[in-house]
Amino acid sequence: MQLFYQPELINGINTLDSEESRHAIKVLRRKEGDAIDLVDGHGKFYTAEIRKADFRKCEFEIVSTKEEPKRNGFRHLAIAPTKNLDRTEWLVEKAVEMGVDRISFVLCQNSERTVLKTERLVKKAVSAMKQSLKATLPQIDEMMKLKQFISSCETAEKFIAYVDFDNPVHLKDCLKTEQHSIILIGPEGDFDPSELDFALESGFQKVSLGESRLRTETAGLAAVHLLNLFS
Amino acid sequence: MQLFYQPELINGINTLDSEESRHAIKVLRRKEGDAIDLVDGHGKFYTAEIRKADFRKCEFEIVSTKEEPKRNGFRHLAIAPTKNLDRTEWLVEKAVEMGVDRISFVLCQNSERTVLKTERLVKKAVSAMKQSLKATLPQIDEMMKLKQFISSCETAEKFIAYVDFDNPVHLKDCLKTEQHSIILIGPEGDFDPSELDFALESGFQKVSLGESRLRTETAGLAAVHLLNLFS
């Protein structure tokens, strides 16, 4: 199934954007009267009929609507973006495939990447949402300073991944079903001890993701997988 | 820590290969008498001393040896390689980081990729092993036909990932600790029903990896993560 994405749908005649119009008409060769499937990124699937098969501005009208089943838990990943941007793009793609509700990017003392444009990441997320037949686009936040992020976290179960061989508690043993969970993953050089202390003082719990030394983006994906399995 | 890889170590003087010699001497600027750390890919870590700092053929002598802690379970992933080879290379890298003992590639009826050179995949595995500070290189098998692979599987707990909404049993609820587990993941077009039947007749159990529609390589990594969490 090929999904199109239109975040703002109105009653009556809607249009696909230029890229999706081109794809529908030139690539998939859809004609007037043909059905197309859409998502709005806010949790709804639509079936629509093409009213005008214009490859620059394809017009369509919605025929039926279906709600995506809701999960009760909330899966929130906060992570320092990697030096190599490809690895962060990959993480966004895979996290959306597995299922995530919000991704926040944090700037840490040891971050090698200090600037992040989220535009390409949102595109990756849209593409992964459509490919994995989901109707909800996760919220993707602009990067903010770690302490600012930590201070902004309100009521939720909050975890910080930090390798501590004296006291390893695995994330899988901390998650509870249907809860709002935030998991925080550090940069390539890990968190500074002062950052860890600040997180712990702010109600974060220190957890492990297992015995293997994982790259930042792999740790992020392992955390998202655990949030899907256990929360 | 920077690890070097030498699969065949002898008593007395050993040499790094040309690429690693160059890296040790030209990039890391190691001198005669300096210590280096090595792994042999068979589960042993070594500390050695450089005897001749030659950037073409760096000579060293082993000073001490340490065994990597052994796991009791065996994590075996069998998967159809993706059409886009980057995605399979990525899977190998991430699976080695998380931990896997053997990766087999299978050719299925719906496989879009019918030829696979494993040389680059082995290089990716070596690099991921060193980066994640492991001493064991997983076995990476050449691609074989699915039915041949299935027939070659002997005593193990065997699972086939297949989305069946009438009877979803999650892999996480089937794995037992310290067992030898094989998990089989199909190509982009999924298994043909005759292939599924053959696997079931051959003692494979049908399992799900969750509600999300995952790409082949994402399913492979989710399976490896579960093998690490539960077997």
Q: Tell me which CATH homologous superfamily contains domain B3-67.
A: Hypothetical PUA domain-like; domain 1 (2.40.240.20)
Which member of A132, A172, A218 has the closest CB to residue B98?
A: A218
Domain boundaries, chain B: 3-67, 74-230
Rounded CA separation A77/A159 (Å): 10
Residue A32 has φ and ψ, to the nearest 5°, of: -55, 135
Q: Between chains, do B132 and A213 touch, taking CB under 8 Å as contact?
A: yes
Residue A24 has pLDDT above 90, yes or no: yes
CATH of domain B74-230: 3.40.1280.10
Residue A119 neighbours by CB under 8 Å, 6+ apart: none
Residue A18 neighbours by CB under 8 Å, 6+ apart: A56, A57
- SS3 of residue A62 by DSSP: strand
The DSSP code sequence of B133-186 is T--BPPEEPPPEEHHHHHHH--SSEEEEE---TTS--BGGGT--TT-EEEEEE-
Rounded CA separation B138/B122 (Å): 9
Rounded CA separation B224/B231 (Å): 10
Residue A207 has φ and ψ, to the nearest 5°, of: -135, 160
Q: Is B29 left (phi over 0), alpha (psi -120 to 50) or beta?
A: left
Q: Which whole number is the average pLDDT over A74-90?
A: 96
Q: Which amino acid is at A72?
A: N
pLDDT (tens digit, 9 = 90+) per residue, A178-218? 899 999 999 988 999 999 999 999 999 999 999 888 999 99
Q: Between chains, do B212 and A132 touch, taking CB under 8 Å as contact?
A: yes
Q: Please tell me the distance in Å from B40's CA to the nearest CA on chain A.
A: 18
pLDDT (tens digit, 9 = 90+) per residue, B153-204? 987 899 999 876 666 799 999 999 889 999 999 998 899 999 999 999 999 9
Q: Between chains, do B225 and A228 touch, taking CB under 8 Å as contact?
A: no
Among all residues of chain B, which has the CA nearest to that of A209? B229
Strand partners of residue B35? B49
ipTM summary value: 0.91
Q: Which residues from chain A sit within 8 angstroms of residue B90, using beta carbons?
A: 90
